[in-house]
Amino acid sequence: MITVHKAAELTGHSNPIFSLELSQKPGVLFSGGNDKGLVEWSLENNSFIKVMFPVMASIYAIHCPVGYPLMFAGLRSGEVLVFDFIGQKITHRLRHHIKPIFDIKSSAQKDELLIACEDGTVSVWSLKTLQLLHSIPVSNDTVRCITINPAENRVAFGCRDNRIVIYDLEDYSLIKALIGHTMAVFSLQYAPAGDYLISGSRDAQVKIWDNKTYSLLQNIPAHLFAVNHIAFHPTRPYFATASMDKSIKIWDAIDFKLRKIISREKGYASHALSVNKIAWNGDQLISTGDDKNIMIWAVSF
What is the layout of strands, in order, in the sheet containing 216-220?
A: 185-190, 196-201, 206-210, 216-220
In the chain, the N- to C-terminal Cα span, in Å, equals: 6
- pLDDT value at position 39? 98
Mean pLDDT of 97-119: 98
Q: Quick one: what percent of the chain has pLDDT higher than 70?
A: 100
Mean pLDDT of 93-102: 98
Q: 190: pLDDT confidence band, cut at 50, 70 and 90?
A: very high
- pLDDT value at position 114? 98
pLDDT in tens, 10-65: 999 999 999 999 999 999 999 999 998 999 999 999 999 999 999 999 999 999 99
Q: 232: pLDDT confidence band, cut at 50, 70 and 90?
A: very high
Name the fold adopted by 3-300. Methylamine Dehydrogenase; Chain H (2.130.10)
Task: Parse the chain into domains and list their residue ranges.
Answer: 3-300
Q: Quick one: what percent of the chain has pLDDT higher than 90?
A: 100
| DSSP assignment letter at 163 | -
CA distances from 243 to 70, 183, 217, 276 (A): 29, 14, 22, 7
- pLDDT value at position 70? 98
CA distance 202 to 182: 8
- pLDDT value at position 58? 98
- pLDDT value at position 24? 97
- pLDDT value at position 121? 98
pLDDT in tens, 57-88: 999 999 999 999 999 999 999 999 999 999 99
Residue 249's contacts (CB-CB under 8 Å, 6 or more residues apart) are: 222, 223, 240, 241, 243, 258, 260, 261, 262
CA distance 259 to 94: 42
Number of Cβ within a 10 Å radius of residue 281: 15
Mean pLDDT across the chain: 98
Distance from CA of residue 105 to its chain's centroid?
Answer: 9
pLDDT in tens, 141-184: 999 999 999 999 999 999 999 999 999 999 999 999 999 999 99
Mean pLDDT of 213-239: 98
- pLDDT value at position 15? 98
- pLDDT value at position 160? 98
CB 205 within 8 A of CB 222: yes
Residue 107's contacts (CB-CB under 8 Å, 6 or more residues apart) are: 114, 148, 152, 155, 169
